[in-house]
Amino acid sequence: MDGYSMMLLLGAFCWIVSSSGESRNSTVNTVIFGVSVVALVFLRLFKVL
């Protein structure tokens, strides 16, 4: 998987979370998005290493 596919999956995940009833709490979405970005960065680092 390349970075583009991972970003698409990240976007789909965030869309599912935001449409599951948590959209009224933007803080929850922000935290989940931040965790997802950190996980994406770690995956990229492990792929390089």
What DSSP string describes 1-49?
Answer: --HHHHHHHHHHHHHHHIIIIITT-HHHHHHHHHHHHHHHHHHHHHHH-
Count Cβ atoms below 10 Å from residue 32 Cβ, excluding itself.
Answer: 15
Q: Which pLDDT score is estimated for 27?
A: 76
Write out pLDDT tens, residues 1-49. Answer: 567 777 777 777 777 776 665 556 677 777 777 887 888 788 778 876 5
Q: Which pLDDT score is estimated for 48?
A: 64
CA–CA dist 33, 22 (Å, integer) = 13
Q: Which residues lie closer than 8 Å to 3 by C-beta, 6 or more apart?
A: 44
Q: Which pLDDT score is estimated for 15?
A: 73
Whether residue 10 contacts residue 40, with contact meaning beta carbons closer than 8 Å, is answered with yes
Q: Which pLDDT score is estimated for 25?
A: 66
Q: Which pLDDT score is estimated for 49?
A: 54
